[in-house]
Amino acid sequence: MVKKNKQKRLSKRVNSILTLGIFLLVVVVINLLGNRYFKRFDLTKEKRFTLTQTTKDLLKNLDDIVYVQVYLDGDFPSGFKRLRNGALEMLNEFKSYGGSNIEFEFVNPLEGLNEGAKRDVIQQLYEKGIQPTNLKVKDNEAYSEQIIFPAASVFYKGRETTIQLLENKIGQSPQEALNGSIALIEYKLAQAINTLQTTYKPKVALLQGHDELKPDDLQWMLNIMSSYYTVEQFDINKHLYIPETFKCLLIAKPRLKFNEPDKYKIDQFIMNGGSVLWLLDPMIAELDSLRNRDAFMSVEYDLNLDDMLFKYGVRLNKNLAQDLVSNPIPLMIGMQGDTPQYDLFPWLYYPIITSGDQQHPISKNLDAIATKFVSTIDTVKSAGVQKTILLSTSPYTKLQYMPIRIHLGAVKEKPNRAQFKKGKQPIAVLLEGEFPSVFKNRLKPNTQAVTDTIAAFTNRDKSVPGKMIVVGDGDIITNDRSSKGEPFPTGYFRSTKETFANQQFLLNCLEYLIDQSGLIESRTREVKLRLLDQGKIKDGKTFWQMLNLVLPLIGLLVFALLYNSLRRRRYAR
Amino acid sequence: MLNIFKKEINHFFSSLIGYIAVGVFLLATGLFLWAFPDTGILEYGYASLESYFYMAPYIFMFLIPAITMRSFSEEYNAGTIEILSTKPITDNQIIGGKFLAALFLVFFALLPTLLYFYSVYQLGAPVGNIDTGATWGSYIGLLFLGGAFVAIGVFSSAITNNQIVAFLLAIFLCFFIYTGFDYISRLNVFYARLDAFVEQLGIDAHYQSIGRGVVDTRDILYFISLILVFLFFTKVVLEKRRW
């Protein structure tokens, strides 16, 4: 009897341990399966955590580990915590598609280092292209300075690239800037991975032959571009046609006339699907001309491109825009001993462009852009061509048409606001679609005979779908140089020591013109800024505090009393 | 099961312990979010309840064990567990009833905090400028986290007849499963190999994932599995009495 009982108990024991084992096994298997077949519901309003399809594809097709090192770790103000969390969330999201091929780490590069070592690290990071951000941190009534690096390095197959996570925008509150930056994290990470992945760099031709800008004039931009593209100078006079191996033609500030053969070469490059970035100055206007005199007359360059551009859908106006929102220039105001004294004066011919198309990936979340002697662009009717105005001047614009007398005395005159009523004027236009050839029905028979002999070349009257961007300023791509001859960043304005987003704009343009992956679409992501109403808080702080602190407790107390009195009544009955 | 559930609920609301637990939870979150400047929503300046959802797990870590510590320990002590086992209910029903009752109390404690949501909603510039969807996601996450802690608490209570031991053990287990795996994953042994997997064993990774406002079936599955595993452990412990 006792033995039987014991046996029974033993079997019970075996039974329940066995079930436990089976149960655990089932749980593990279900979780493993669940990890493979999952579904996610993004409840956030802006679908913040839903990656674009292109990014998902990029991540799913990774064939090696992408290692991301984010230099944001430690204690910093809440805004930067949000940036860090944004990066963390995005990387987690990347991980859920890229799996074990995505690895990341958050580090504080300055942690535990002495002053000397810190300086070395800052220098090393600076050489990688990472700029530190100085923060004033208030602790115990005293302000101390904190250096942080809102940036990340991305490593893939022994290659490395860096991304800046913080986009500072002039005239934007720090919070807005942080929000814009958070919205761009996906794009920047995906682009970095994409860049590291492509061993092949698309070719860009820097057109030469019409006194265009020399590589020296845009050295900074060429350096930056070289990480994404192979840029080659292309002297059009020496070639019969522009080969299709070039994905994009960069025409930067030509100053001499284009003859008909050159135009034909460019036209056919476009007809065969090539992209063009036109950076054109229709008017002769350089500040250098004012070095020895007080005034000059600005007249047009005879570029002979009007008919071509008109056919594609734009007219580059022979004018100069004056804008109340503009950069100043330094002018000598006298001598102190031997050294000349300079002061900054408003120079309305240098508009600061802040109004870009907020829907378009090229100009969305883009900082202000510095221009010099910019001309406006009109769009004209051209069937099958879609036009997008990427950049416009401020609403306080005045247009002057040729001939224009530009004189230094203007800086001293107070601009008459009533004259600046032209409203926003387009200065950069994107054209997309099937462009008509400007040489349609115009080709001479002997030219035709020559082109027919070139096997790699097809004459077309209408383009395959293509893209081009026309900007009414050629100087947008140039860079200044320091007294030592080092190039400053493109868009760096020496006299005010401000850096404008010219570089980013041009990179976006090139990417849009060349990119086949569609990654740039994720630039349009938006994260709405959600702030509390500080006015309401100031007025009713105590009220809200009391409401949230006390009301729940009172509610609980009332519930307790009611519940127990009801219970007692029921028992009493 | 319904009878057990009712009995437990009744017990919570007619004894002081239930009110103290809920009251302390409300007081603590209220103070942290609305009175103390370092963690306060008003000082943070953003229309979101992020800090609430960040803090709540740590408060739960103490309060849920306080709620659950008596669920079996007391029955052992008073000998009522024997009475229960003579009644025509299965172990599953007893465990389920107790689990759901404690979870209900967690839910009950969360309800008044909807007032925080209302306040931030009203204080937003403009009014209503809070990501409602993401907030619901966070609430869902918090509820699942509460469920996991309750299951852990019920299990701890089942293995001892000493309520203090049950309380302390539950705190330790909650803390360990919540953040412990995260720390372990950073050990050098796991570095770059198993760290992601180890991290996924902990609650934190899943709670944060849902808390952002993304409801992922993997996270839900994780929470449900965790709850079921601990309830199953409890069942084995109860069966052990009959071995």
Q: What per-residue confidence (pLDDT) applies to B30? A: 93
Q: Are A191 and A208 found together in one domain? A: no
- Determine how β-strand A314-316 pairs with β-strand A377-379: antiparallel
- Residue A6 has, within 13 A of its CA and on its CB side, a CA count of 3
pLDDT digits (tens, 9 = 90+) for B198-221: 778 899 889 988 887 888 898 999
Angstroms from A80 CA to nearest CA on chain B: 12
Q: Under an 8 A CB cutoff, do B228 and A27 touch?
A: yes
Q: Which of A501, A524, A547 is the last residue of a domain?
A: A524
Q: What per-residue confidence (pLDDT) applies to B224? A: 95
Q: Which of A178, A197, A216 is the last residue of a domain?
A: A197
Asked if residue A18 is part of any domain, the answer here is: no
Comparing CB atoms, the residue among B124, B131, B236 nearest residue A532 is B124
Which pairs count as long-range contacts for A1-7, CB under 8 Å and 24+ apart, including other chains? none
Q: Are A169 and A218 found together in one domain? A: no
Angstroms from B107 CA to nearest CA on chain A: 13
Angstroms from A404 CA to nearest CA on chain B: 48
Q: Under an 8 A CB cutoff, do B125 and A534 touch?
A: yes
* B chain contacts of residue A38, beta-carbon cutoff 8 Å: 216-218
Angstroms from B115 CA to nearest CA on chain A: 7
pLDDT digits (tens, 9 = 90+) for A149-164: 889 999 998 888 888 8
* A chain contacts of residue B126, beta-carbon cutoff 8 Å: 533
Q: Under an 8 A CB cutoff, do B137 and A567 touch?
A: no
Asked if residue A6 is part of any domain, the answer here is: no
Q: Are A227 and A247 found together in one domain? A: yes
How many beta carbons lie within 10 A of that of residue B236, not counting itself?
Answer: 18
* A chain contacts of residue B243, beta-carbon cutoff 8 Å: 9-10, 12-13, 16
Q: Report the C-alpha gap between A316 and A294 in whole angstroms.
A: 28
Domain ranges of chain B: 2-238
Comparing CB atoms, the residue among A530, A541, A563 nearest residue B131 is A530
* B chain contacts of residue A44, beta-carbon cutoff 8 Å: 131, 133-134, 137, 212-214
Q: Are A150 and A262 found together in one domain? A: no
* B chain contacts of residue A533, beta-carbon cutoff 8 Å: 123-127
Q: Are A286 and A183 found together in one domain? A: no
Comparing CB atoms, the residue among A27, A549, A564 nearest residue B35 is A549
Report the residue of chain A nearest B119, measured CA to CA: A544
pLDDT digits (tens, 9 = 90+) for B163-198: 999 999 999 999 999 988 878 876 767 655 566 677
Q: Are A250 and A159 found together in one domain? A: no
Angstroms from A40 CA to nearest CA on chain B: 4
CA R_g for chain A: 32
Q: Are A187 and A211 found together in one domain? A: no
pLDDT digits (tens, 9 = 90+) for B36-75: 887 888 887 788 888 899 889 999 999 999 999 988 888 8
**Predicted confidence pLDDT, tens digits, chain A (573 residues):** 556 677 777 787 788 888 889 999 999 999 888 877 777 788 887 777 778 777 888 888 888 899 999 998 877 766 677 788 788 888 988 888 888 889 999 988 888 888 888 888 888 888 777 878 877 665 556 667 778 888 999 999 888 888 888 876 655 667 667 777 887 888 888 888 888 887 778 899 999 999 999 988 999 899 888 878 899 999 998 888 898 899 999 999 999 999 988 999 999 999 998 999 999 999 999 888 888 888 888 989 999 999 999 999 999 999 999 998 889 888 888 888 778 888 888 899 999 998 777 788 888 878 889 999 999 999 999 888 999 999 999 888 999 998 899 988 888 888 888 888 888 999 999 999 999 999 888 877 777 777 777 777 778 888 899 999 999 999 999 998 888 888 888 888 888 888 888 998 999 999 899 876 667 776 666 556 677 888 888 888 889 999 999 999 999 999 999 988 888 887 766
Q: Which of A142, A175, A197 is the last residue of a domain?
A: A197
Asked if residue A78 is part of any domain, the answer here is: yes
| Sole residue written with tokens 């996610």 | A40
CA R_g for chain B: 19
Q: What per-residue confidence (pLDDT) applies to A478? A: 93
Q: Is the ipTM of this complex over 0.95?
A: no
Q: What per-residue confidence (pLDDT) applies to A564? A: 86
Q: By CB neighbour count within 10 A (0-12 exposed, 13-18 middle, 19+ buried), where does A553 fall?
A: middle
Q: What is the CATH number of the domain that holds A507?
A: 3.40.50
Q: What per-residue confidence (pLDDT) applies to A175? A: 67
- What are the φ/ψ torsions at residue B202 (nearest 5 degrees)? -85, 160
* A chain contacts of residue B27, beta-carbon cutoff 8 Å: 549, 553
Q: Report the C-alpha gap between A320 and A285 in whole angstroms.
A: 9
Comparing CB atoms, the residue among B19, B222, B239 nearest residue A560 is B19
Instruction: Give residue B90's pLDDT band: very low, low, confident or very high (50, 70, 90).
Output: confident
Q: By CB neighbour count within 10 A (0-12 exposed, 13-18 middle, 19+ buried), where does A273 fall?
A: middle
Q: Are A245 and A140 found together in one domain? A: no
Asked if residue A417 is part of any domain, the answer here is: yes
Looking at the 3D structure of chain A, how many domains does it have?
2
Q: Are A178 and A262 found together in one domain? A: no
Q: Are A338 and A416 found together in one domain? A: yes
Comparing CB atoms, the residue among B33, B48, B215 nearest residue A530 is B48
pLDDT digits (tens, 9 = 90+) for B102-131: 999 999 999 999 999 999 999 887 788 888
Q: Are A103 and A173 found together in one domain? A: yes
- H helix and E strand count, chain A: 11, 27
Asked if residue A427 is part of any domain, the answer here is: yes
Q: What per-residue confidence (pLDDT) applies to A1? A: 53
Angstroms from A546 CA to nearest CA on chain B: 8
Q: Are A190 and A233 found together in one domain? A: no
The domain of A221 spans 203-524
CA–CA distance from A519 to each of A36, A69, A362 (Å)?
Answer: 26, 21, 12
Q: What is the CATH number of the domain that holds A152?
A: 3.40.30
